[in-house]
Structure 1
Amino acid sequence: MLKQISQFFNAFGATVIVPIMIFVIALFLKLKPKKAMMSAFYAGVGLTGFSWIINEFTPIVTKVIRQMVNQTGIKLPVVDIGWQAGSLASFGSPVGLTFFVVGLIAEFILFWTGITKVFMPSNLWNNFGFMIWGTLAFYVTHNWWISLGLSFFMLLYTLVLAEIQADRWSRYYGIENTTVSAVQNIVQVIPAIILDPLWNLLGFNKVNLTPKAFKEKFGVFGEPTTLGIILGLIIGILGNLTTLTTTKAWGQILKFAVELSAVMTIFPLVTNVFAKAFTPLAESIDKDRKKQAQDTKLEDPIHDKHRWFLAVDDGVGYGESATIISGIILIPIMVIIAFILPGNKTLPVVDLISLPFMVESIVAVTKGNILKVIANGIVWFSIGLYAASWLANIYTGAISHYGAAIPTGIVLVTSFNLMARPINALVFAAFISKNPIWIGLCIAIYLLLLFALRKYRPQIWTYLNNMADKNNNQAKSKTVK
Structure 2
Amino acid sequence: MEYLLSVIQYFVDLGASVMLPIVIFVVALCLGQKPGKALKSGISIGIGFIGIGLVIGLMLNNLAPAASAMAKHFGLSMSVVDIGWPGSSPMTWASNIALIAIPTAIVVNIIMLVLKLTRVVNIDIWNIWHYAFTGALLHIATGSFLIGMIGIVIHAALSYKFGDWFSPIVEDYFGLEGVAIPHGTSAYLGPIAVPIDCLLNKIPVIKDIDINTDKIEKKFGVVGDPAIMGGILGVIIGILAGYDVKGILTLGMQMAAVMILMPQVVKHIMTGLLPVSEAAKKMLEKRFKGGNFYIGLDPALLLGDPTVVTASLIFIPLTIVIAMIVPGNQILPFGDLATIGFFVAMAVGIHKGNLFRTLISGSVIMFVTIWISNQTIGLHTILAQNAGQLKDGVTKVASLDQGGSPITYILTQIFNTTNVMGLVVIAILYAFCLVFTYGWYKNKKKEMMIADGAYESTNN
What TM-score do the two structures reach when normalised by structure 2? 0.87
Is 1:336 the counterpart of 2:321? The answer is yes
1:457 and 1:25 mapped to 2: Cα distance? 29
Within a 5 Å distance, the mapping from 1:1-400 to structure 2 comes to 1=3, 3-120=5-122, 122-202=123-203, 203-240=205-242, 249-285=244-280, 306-400=291-385
Could you tell me how far apart the structure 1 residues matched to 2:318 and 2:181 are?
Answer: 25
For the 8 Å contact 1:345–1:386, the answer to whether it is kept is: no
CA change 1:449–1:463 in 2 (3 A) is farther
Partner deviation per Cα, 1:193-242 (whole Å, 9 max, x = no partner): 111122223444422311111111111111111001100111000000xx
Q: Is the 8 A contact 2:25 2:39 kept in 1?
A: yes
Amino acid at match of 1:33: P
**2:457 match:** none
106 and 8 in structure 1: CA distance in 2 versus 1, 3 angstrom threshold = same
Contact between 2:166 and 2:441, CA under 8 Å: does it hold in 1? no
State the partner residue of 1:421: 405
Q: 1:264 to 1:115 in 2, by over 3 A?
A: same
Unaligned runs of 5+ in 1: 241-247, 294-303, 467-481
Question: Residue deviations 1:87-125, cap 9 Å, x none?
Answer: 1122212211111233223323332332221111x1111
Question: How far is 1:417 from its partner?
Answer: 1.5
Does the Cα contact within 8 Å between 2:173 and 2:352 map onto a contact in 1? yes
Q: What is the one-letter code of the residue matched to 2:349?
A: A
Distance 1:353 1:275 in 2: 23
**Matched residue type, 2:95:** S
Shift of 1:43: 1.0
> If the length of structure 1 is used for normalisation, what is the TM-score?
0.83
- Partner Cα separation in structure 1 for residue 239 and residue 440 of structure 2: 50
Q: Tell me the SS of whatever aligns to 1:119.
A: strand
The 3 A distance-change label for structure 1 pair 289 and 370 is: farther
Q: Distance in 2 between matches of 1:233 and 1:328?
A: 11
Give 1:188 deviation, angstroms.
1.9
Which residue identity lines up with residue 145 of structure 2 in the other structure?
Answer: W
Quote the residue 1:479 is aligned against: none
Instruction: Label 1:48 to 1:2 Cα distance change in 2 as closer, same or farther (>3 A).
Output: same
RMSD over aligned Cα, in angstroms?
A: 3.2
Q: CA deviation at 1:24?
A: 2.2
Q: Alpha-carbon deviations, 1:288-322, whole Å to 9, x = none?
A: 689899xxxxxxxxxx9511111011111112111
**Partner residue of 2:386?**
401
Cα separation, 1, equivalents of 2:396 and 2:92: 18
Q: Secondary structure at the match of 2:124?
A: helix
CA 1:286–1:106: 2 relative to 1, 3 Å: closer
The C-alpha deviation readout for 1:384-442, integer Å capped at 9, x for no partner, is 11100011111011122123x235343321111121223431233123459xxxx9xx9
Cα distance per residue 1:17-58 (max 9 Å; x no partner): 101111222233343433322211111101111112222331
**Which stretch of the first structure deviates more once superposed, 58-67 or 418-427?**
418-427
SS of the aligned residue for 1:115 comes to coil
Instruction: Tell me if the contact between 2:104 and 2:152 (Cα under 8 Å) persists in the aligned partners.
Output: no
Q: Deviations over 1:324-344 (max 9, x none)?
A: 111111111001111133322
| Cα distance between partner residues in 2 of 1:254 and 1:447 | 45
Q: Taking structure 1 as reference, are residues 253 and 454 closer, same or farther at Cα in structure 2, changes over 3 Å only?
A: closer
The CA distance in 2 between the partners of 1:66 and 1:465, in whole Å, is 49
Instruction: Report the AA paired with residue 306 of structure 1.
Output: G
Return 5+ residue gaps in structure 2 as ranges: 451-460
Cα deviation digits, residues 48-70 of structure 1 (max 9, x gap):
11112222331211111111111
CA gap of 1:67–1:407, structure 2 versus 1, over 3 A, is farther
Aligned match of 1:243 = none
CA shift in 2, pair 1:69/1:334, >3 Å:
same
Please state whether the residue corresponding to 1:187 is helix, strand or coil.
Answer: helix
Cα distance change of structure 1 residues 414 and 110 upon mapping to structure 2, 3 Å threshold: same
Are the equivalent residues in 1 in contact too, given 2:12–2:126 (CA < 8 A)? no
Q: Equivalent pairs: percent with the same residue?
A: 25
- In 1: Cα distance, 2:432 partner to 2:72 partner: 47
Structure 2 Cα separation of the partners of residues 210 and 27 of structure 1 = 41
C-alpha displacement at 1:180, in angstroms? 0.5
In 2, are the aligned partners of 1:278 and 1:312 still within 8 Å (CA)?
Answer: no
How has the CA–CA distance of structure 1 residues 79 and 311 changed in structure 2, closer, same or farther, with 3 Å as cutoff?
A: same
| Greater mean alpha carbon deviation, residues 159-168 or residues 276-285 | 276-285
